[in-house]
Amino acid sequence: MTQILELHDIHTFIGQYHILQGVSFTVPVGSITALLGRNGAGKTTTLKTIMGLTPPRIGEIRFEGRRINGMRPFEIASLGIGFVPEHRAIFRDLTVEENLKIAERKKGDYVRKQEMIFSLFPDLKRLINLRGANLSGGQQQMLAIARALVADNRLLLIDEPSEGLAPVVIEGLIGAIRHLAADSTVVLVEQNFLVASQLAEYYVIIEEGRSVQSGRMQELVNDKAAIHRYLGAA
Amino acid sequence: MTTSGSSFVQRYRIALLTLLALVLLPFVIGLFEGASPFEVWSNQSGMSRFIQGLAIEIFILALYALSYDLIFGFTGLLSFGHSMFFAVGAYLTGIALKSFGLNLWQTFGILMLAALAQALLFGIVLPRVKGITFALVTLGLSSVFHIVVMSRELGDYTGADVGLQGVIIPDFISPATERLRLYFVTLTILVVFYLIYRRFVDSPLGRVCKAIRENEGRAQMLGYNTFLFKLAALILSSLTAAIAGALHTIYQPIVSPDIAGLGFTVTALLMILIGGVGTLHGALAGAAIFRLLDFGLRRYLGESASFVNGAIYVLIVLFLPYGIVGTWQLKASLSIAHMRQGWQRLLEMVGVNVERRASRE
Amino acid sequence: MEQIPAIMRKNLVLIITLAVMLVLFVAAASGMSWQDFVITLLRGLAVGALTFLVASGFSLIFGLLDVLNLAHGTLFMVGAYIGWTVYVRPDTFVDILTPLALIISGFTLGDVWRLLAQRVPQSGLWRRVLPWVAIVPGVLIGFGVMRGYPVASWSLENYAESPVTFSFLASQGQRVIPAPATFGDGSPLIAFGGLILASMLIAFGLTLLRQSDIHTAAHVSWRHVVPFAGLIAGGLVVFTVNEPLTAWLFALDTNWLFLIAVLAAVLSGMGLGALMESTLIRPLYVRPIYQLMLTLGLSAIGIEIVRAIWGRPEFTMPKPALFAGSGEGCPAESLWLALQNSCSTMLFQGGRIRIYNEIFIPLVGLIVLIAVWLLLRRTRLGMIIRAGVQDREMVEALGINVRRVFTMVFALGVGLAALGGVLAAPSIGLSNTMGESFLLNALIALAIGGLTSYPGAAIGSLLVGMLQQFIIKYGQIGIAIPLTGIVFKPSPPLVPASTILLMVIILLILPNGLLGRKE
């Protein structure tokens, strides 16, 4: 199976702090991969490092076989990587429509993808002229994901999609993310192990800035010892 | 904390050497001119006397820069009204000595009260405004003070836009007759305040201040009433700046309203940026560099000095990212890290796997 | 409809503040005659409009880039001086165009330099030395050529040829055409070649210095040569038609000349802004506080450069013909008649209104207000700016080159300041200190309106302008304090003090300003 994303021994510093101290994993094309680990283990930093927002000091990142570290974030994004940050960082001052339009990389992206996006998130169509600040948490999360779909992205990095959302909303979200994985590859950071185990085929556990274990999700679900050791949950 | 004498000397050897050099400076300069230490002692020598004057100015600026470093560098309060702290000290000293004929100790008492009052004034606005807004409000407060000092209505006391002149300094500390004594008094005050600041910064109190600078929300969550800590820093800073202002009046005998303006706050900012923010000794180095640079440029370039001055600041900003002292410290620690890395690489080259060896141990 | 009470409750403090200000305004208005009131109001509008031009650019830059550009006032002043040069000494302007085009030309070949830089060995001493090996000779050649390059100019030592004299003559309608400067014994071709060479060397050296850029892939195609060739060709064309062009500009109607001056000032402001952001500010985004020091240093340098070129004495810039007439039918009875007769003033209830200062400047301010608002609300660039104010990283992660947007916004902001400067010149004259007072005004206006709010900048500027003009007016006529019979006349220092006090009071009530966002 070909790998769409490869990380090899990534070290990232934020200021003087050595946050990632050796993260290596690969992501197969068309899969959903979950990054797991405790709070502060470095999962979010891993995603930001892939995007070039916190560039790695040592190591190599390849996207579709091409080395991308050292590139600027906008260049990395332009290769076809969509980023859905934590805390639903949509643009509060922009309307829903503007939030989607700003993500265009080619003229007409938004018009082309409109139908697909609104079939996935029918709520957004109704709210199209509302300002981002006036949306509920769940709506914001949907908008954040929808925004990553406007341009043709072959890889989506999604950070904590279920954080702070009601169970009903999470359910809808799981459906939507599954649907996405039909066309593109997804890398997901998820605190909620239940959600992660429902969604992902593969997992990577990050512990204190290092990738310590990875494999198929099915195997991890049965490996109670590892779950307890790394995730602190039963 | 108990340290043996020799390690104390070793630890602070640069500071002690600097202090020794400053104590000897007037006499050494005197010797160059052929004046014996006794002549220097009795204030006769020309060049030494001149250098003493320059040094006194640097000490005063250093005191002022220290006080700004405490609230900006350590507590993270960006105040654009710091010149008021200094100017209140300077004007009050001048007015108390000149118009009310008070003696130095009474003046000092009033000064302390005034310094406390103005710190409290800044303290009132502290909980309301943060960040750049605090900077603007403090700029506003100090500008109002500046305008008041400049106004004709108070001209009898402050000298309006001409400045306060004709202050009679008590003989025993007069810059005209007892300059060497003033030199040592200023130096002593600077050293004492530096030690107080060192102690403050390293104390639990100072550590909370640093925590506030890094992340005020977290400091609050840890249960600290951050307002009180910021107020404490403000009060200490205000006292220091007021004393610097008083020394300024004593040394200059003329108080120009310029020292109440925004420009003088910028001077404080420049000094600590040149030296290195949040390092204390950076403030001292910054003050010396600032004054000497200004003096030298004005002497040799005259009119176009501020052009070169501006260019030098731009170059410092671009090429010495953390100020002179800060960058030097960083470079030193980095070069140690590089040395370690190089050592490790060397070991690897000769076939010793450092990691494996470490794990075995 | 039930939303309205909710909005009111949310913004109660704001509404009360505005109501109090309205009451004070009415009280201030009722203290003077209708004629005084209207004229004071218009003057307030004029100061407000100029303040707004500085403040709006400052606020755009601060909002998106988080840079407090303390050199903004100096750039306002530079705009005024450049506009004056084009307007009063078009010959100098034409002379300077050719070398300017040639010096810029090398910088348009950015991708070529990047490609070359990638070919250079990436490590070692060579890498450190090479940029300077290119830059230093480049600068030397450039200076060497410019020393001998003929540019018609003025003299700061000789009063008869000083800017003050030229301003005075121009205001008298006498356009004395000084003798054109010519090449002495040197050949123009050597000068042109030298300038192009210098430009290329400096551009290449700077590309080498900026090592982070070198990783990005560079593609070179024939298209990259077009602007380069265009600039050189344009420069040479201007050189060949130098004399007729100069003569034509001197003979041109001053209205058109003024328009050209405004355009030149705005364009050079934008160029300066782009240059400043991309070379000096950009390395400092990670160390915000040092930007303060940098912009302060640049401000001092800018003032010194202006002093070196245009001198210390203050001088005026004549108003364009449309607003300068005083002949038949002037002062006019109405605005329409005033424009027909090109009067400088019109009568209003027995008072005089200066058309340029009190009608034209506020009008331009209004046009800019609307134009920038449309830019922010209706264009993709505006959308990116509004998004970037909140979250730059996310904008970048969407595949947008934020760095380029930063440069554009900085250029736009400085361009607005330069526009303010050139418009202010005929009204308040040119001096080395004009920048500082408007920077302070703009800072206060922004603090009042809300630092990153665009409508806030407009309202704050208006308030600052009004308050200052009303205090000045009351300084003349005095305020009768009720029940006491005392007439209080605010003294001049109270003018700046009043706006500062207003700022402090408003910030204490509303820490984010009137329209600033609550965080």
ipTM of the complex: 0.87
- Whether residue B324 is contained in a domain is answered as no
Contact status of B272 with chain C (Cβ, < 8 Å): no
The pLDDT of residue C14 is 81
- Whether residue A157 is contained in a domain is answered as yes
Residue A104: closest CA among chain C residues belongs to which residue? C398
Q: Do residues B251 and B338 both lie within one domain?
A: no
Concatenating the DSSP letter of every residue in C470-518 gives HHHHHHHH-EE-TTT--EE---TTHHHHHHHHHHHHHHHHSTT-SSPPP
Contact status of B115 with chain C (Cβ, < 8 Å): no
Interfacial B residues in 53-82 facing C (CB < 8 Å): 78
- Whether residue B6 is contained in a domain is answered as no
- Whether residue A111 is contained in a domain is answered as no
CB contact under 8 A, C384 and A102: yes
Check which CATH number belongs to the domain holding A7 and give it.
3.40.50.300
- Whether residue B286 is contained in a domain is answered as yes
Q: Of B136, B153, B307, which is closest to C443 when you measure between CB atoms?
A: B136
Q: Parallel, antiparallel, or unpaired for β A17-28 and A3-14?
A: antiparallel
Residue C296: closest CA among chain B residues belongs to which residue? B310
Is residue A106 over pLDDT 90? no
The pLDDT of residue B161 is 78
- Whether residue A63 is contained in a domain is answered as yes
CB pairs under 8 A between B and C: 104
Give per-residue pLDDT as tens, C214-267: 455 556 777 778 889 999 999 999 988 888 898 888 888 889 999 999 999 999
Q: Do residues B202 and B106 both lie within one domain?
A: yes
- Give chain B's mean pLDDT: 81
Q: Looking at CA atoms only, how far is residue A60 from chain C in angstroms?
A: 14
Is the preceding peptide bond at C331 cis, omega within 30 degrees of 0? yes
Confidence of residue C196 (pLDDT cuts 50, 70, 90): very high
> Given CA atoms B296, B300, B306, B311 in this order, what sign does their dihedral have?
negative
Contact status of B306 with chain C (Cβ, < 8 Å): yes
Count structural domains, chain B: 2
Q: Which tokens is C54 given?
A: 């500085």
- Whether residue B2 is contained in a domain is answered as no
Determine the average pLDDT of the residues in C461-482: 84
Question: Range of B353's domain?
Answer: 331-361
Is residue C511 over pLDDT 70? yes
| Alpha-carbon gap, residue B10 to B2, rounded angstroms | 14
Q: Do residues B213 and B237 both lie within one domain?
A: yes
CB contact under 8 A, B314 and C301: yes
CB contact under 8 A, B140 and C304: no
- Whether residue B326 is contained in a domain is answered as no
Cβ neighbours of C303 in B, within 8 Å:
306
CB contact under 8 A, B144 and C305: no
User: Which is more confident, A173 or B41?
Assistant: A173
- Whether residue A97 is contained in a domain is answered as no
Q: Do residues B97 and B181 both lie within one domain?
A: yes
- Whether residue B124 is contained in a domain is answered as yes
Q: Do residues B209 and B282 both lie within one domain?
A: yes
Coil vs helix vs strand at C254: helix
**Lowest pLDDT segment from A150-164, B151-165, C303-317, C396-410:** B151-165
- Whether residue A55 is contained in a domain is answered as yes
Cβ neighbours of C216 in A, within 8 Å:
71-72, 75
- Whether residue B3 is contained in a domain is answered as no
- Whether residue B307 is contained in a domain is answered as yes
CB atoms within 10 A of CB C215: 13
Give per-residue pLDDT as tens, B42-77: 766 677 888 888 999 999 999 999 999 999 888 888
Q: Do residues B220 and B277 both lie within one domain?
A: yes
Confidence of residue C284 (pLDDT cuts 50, 70, 90): confident
- Give chain C's mean pLDDT: 85
Chain B: list its partners (3+ Cβ pairs within 8 Å): C
Which of C219, C394, C404 is the best substitution to test chain A (most A C-beta atoms within 10 A)? Answer: C394
Q: Of A74, A89, A91, which is closest to C402 when you measure between CB atoms?
A: A74
Is residue C498 over pLDDT 60? yes
Question: Rounded to whole angstroms, what are the CA distances from B358 to B22, B25, B340?
Answer: 48, 52, 15
- Whether residue A11 is contained in a domain is answered as yes
Q: Do residues B238 and B352 both lie within one domain?
A: no
| Alpha-carbon gap, residue C423 to B105, rounded angstroms | 56
Q: Looking at CA atoms only, how far is residue C399 from chain B in angstroms?
A: 29
- Whether residue A145 is contained in a domain is answered as no
Q: Of C290, C308, C500, which is closest to B143 when you measure between CB atoms?
A: C500
User: Which is more confident, C51 or C390?
Assistant: C51
The pLDDT of residue C200 is 92
Determine the average pLDDT of the residues in B79-89: 92
The pLDDT of residue B68 is 94
CB contact under 8 A, C394 and A91: yes
Q: Do residues B314 and B336 both lie within one domain?
A: no
**Neighbour-count burial of B39, counting CB atoms closer than 10 A to its CB (0-12 exposed, 13-18 middle, 19+ buried):** middle
Residue B323: closest CA among chain C residues belongs to which residue? C290
Q: Of B151, B269, B304, which is closest to C292 when you measure between CB atoms?
A: B269
Highest mean pLDDT among B145-159, C201-215, C398-412: C398-412
Q: What is the maximal distance between C-alpha atoms in chain A?
A: 51
Coil vs helix vs strand at A25: strand
Is residue A39 over pLDDT 70? yes
Phi, psi of A59 (to 5 degrees): 110, 180
Cβ neighbours of A72 in C, within 8 Å:
216, 396, 401, 403
Give per-residue pLDDT as tens, B284-318: 999 998 899 888 888 887 766 777 777 887 787 77
Give per-residue pLDDT as tens, C13-61: 888 888 888 888 887 777 778 888 888 899 999 999 999 999 999 999 9
CB contact under 8 A, C397 and A73: yes
Q: Do residues B337 and B310 both lie within one domain?
A: no
Confidence of residue A43 (pLDDT cuts 50, 70, 90): confident
CB contact under 8 A, C398 and A75: no
**Neighbour-count burial of B198, counting CB atoms closer than 10 A to its CB (0-12 exposed, 13-18 middle, 19+ buried):** middle
Contact status of C399 with chain A (Cβ, < 8 Å): yes
The pLDDT of residue C430 is 93
The pLDDT of residue B350 is 53
Query: Closest Cα partner for C270 from C405, C369, C435, C412?
Result: C412
User: Which is more confident, B332 or B93?
Assistant: B93
Q: Of C386, C389, C400, which is closest to A74 when you measure between CB atoms?
A: C400
The pLDDT of residue B217 is 81
Determine the average pLDDT of the residues in C203-207: 86
Is residue B355 over pLDDT 50? no
Chain C: list its partners (3+ Cβ pairs within 8 Å): A, B
Give the list of residues 6+ apart from residue A108 with CB closer than 8 angstroms, or none. none
The pLDDT of residue B357 is 39
Q: Do residues B69 and B209 both lie within one domain?
A: yes
CB contact under 8 A, A94 and C386: yes
Give per-residue pLDDT as tens, A59-74: 889 888 888 887 888 9
C11-17: Cβ within 8 A, 24+ apart? C13/C509, C13/C510, C14/C510, C14/C514, C17/C506, C17/C509, C17/C510, C17/C514
Contact status of B310 with chain C (Cβ, < 8 Å): yes
Query: Closest Cα partner for B130 from B10, B24, B220, B16?
Result: B220
pTM of the model: 0.84
Give per-residue pLDDT as tens, B98-123: 888 888 888 999 999 999 999 998 88
The pLDDT of residue C212 is 53
Confidence of residue C137 (pLDDT cuts 50, 70, 90): very high
Q: Which tokens is C196 given?
A: 């192009």
Contact status of C283 with chain B (Cβ, < 8 Å): yes
Q: Do residues B211 and B342 both lie within one domain?
A: no
Question: Range of A28's domain?
Answer: 3-85+153-231
Q: Of B141, B151, B311, which is closest to C504 when you measure between CB atoms?
A: B141
The pLDDT of residue C185 is 65
Q: Do residues B216 and B345 both lie within one domain?
A: no
Contact C386, A93 (CB under 8 A): yes
- Whether residue A144 is contained in a domain is answered as no
Contact status of A105 with chain C (Cβ, < 8 Å): yes
User: Which is more confident, A202 or B345?
Assistant: A202
Count structural domains, chain A: 1
Confidence of residue B5 (pLDDT cuts 50, 70, 90): low
Report the run of H or E that residue C204 belongs to, with start and end: helix C188-209
Q: Which tokens is B123 given?
A: 């303290």
Q: Where are the alpha helices (DSSP H) in C277-401?
A: 288-310, 335-340, 361-378, 380-390, 392-397
Coil vs helix vs strand at C213: helix
- Give chain A's mean pLDDT: 85
